[in-house]
Amino acid sequence: MKLLSDFDGVWTVAAEEARAVFLYFRSEAARMAGVDPELAQSEFERYRTVVHGSPERHGWRHQGRVTAYVDEDPFCLSNTLGAFLADTDDETAWKYRDGIVAAGHESTETFADHCFLAATTAYRREHPPALVPTAAAVVQELGELEVHLVIVSNSPPEKILGWFAAEGIDHDPELVRVRGNAGKHVLGLDETYLDAGERRVRVDRPGYRTILEEEAPDLVLGDVFSLDLALPCWLRNSKLAGAPRHTVLHAHAHTPAWTHGLSGKGPIDRIVNSIEELPGLARELARPSQKSARSSS
């Protein structure tokens, strides 16, 4: 069995790193705008309240289009605020826009991308790897079950490999491979959507689609529906190359209700709350169904 999995938020405890990205974004925006940090804190809390108050309208944008909604992942917050500052008519936002552009950034959105990379790099340098404590044991058990794990993540491969190595997880290409800088957020020109109930999610993600076609996974696991699972679900619905047999959502406390509602009879087959559930799930999926067993007898 080949398991294609996201990394951040699945194999890692990501809340603190995501918070670090937001704090870096806020402090740098305040510095460039010449705004007192306490005032910036108050104003950014208001901005955050606005985008979370109508999450169906706000998110991480790629070339002006939402690629993931703000309520799906704490890592989306800074990118969402970059888009918010670019468009809002809030009378306090102009000073951040002007300050960020005057500092040499093309826009508040490219500034948000810069902050994500800078903050996560600093976090890796200043903090120990934030892998789920049982990660090494789970990888070992998956290997014993002959599950080939492929990590596909927007994070750089050196982060993933470094964090795995720190926990004694070998980069054995027969058991674990890493495909970083995957660009799951990068949208193509096609306007095709997957109907996800309360939301519509764009599925033209050419880089990610190429990876899925090359890997042909049996199971895809992720914690952000728009980035990790929408395209695999659409490929399966459309009976196209790269479609997995199974799609699994890794849920968190912040996972929105609309995503939970996609499980079962919807595009998501299963929800797990921990990677510790993966070996049992692999055993279950590897067993032939009762119908198949009867037909072969």
Pick the CATH number of 2-13+130-288 from 3.40.50.1000, 3.40.250.10, 3.40.50.300, 3.40.50.10540: 3.40.50.1000
Please list the residue range(s) of the chain that carry CATH number 3.40.50.1000: 2-13+130-288
SS3 annotation, 81-121? HHHHHHHCCCCCCHHHHHHHHHCCCCCHHHHHHHHHHHHHH
Please report the DSSP string for 196-213 in residue order.
ETTEEEE---HHHHHHHH
- pLDDT at position 143: 94
- pLDDT at position 297: 38
Which amino acid belongs to residue 3? L
pLDDT one-digit tens code per residue, 60-85: 999 899 999 999 999 999 999 999 99
- pLDDT at position 288: 65
pLDDT in tens, the chain (297 residues): 999 999 999 999 999 999 999 999 999 999 999 999 999 999 999 999 999 999 999 999 998 999 999 999 999 999 999 999 999 999 999 999 999 999 999 999 999 999 999 999 999 899 999 999 999 999 999 999 999 999 999 999 999 999 999 999 987 888 899 999 999 999 999 999 999 988 999 999 999 999 999 999 999 999 999 999 999 999 999 999 999 999 999 999 999 999 999 998 789 999 999 999 999 999 999 876 544 444 443
CA dist list (Å): 176 to 90, 140, 165: 48, 10, 12
Count the residues in the chain: 297
| pTM for the predicted model, two decimal places | 0.92
* CA atoms of 48 and 31, how far apart (whole Å): 19
Burial of 252 (0-12, 13-18, 19+ CB in 10 A): middle
Which amino acid belongs to residue 286? A
For residue 82, give both structure tokens: 């970059």
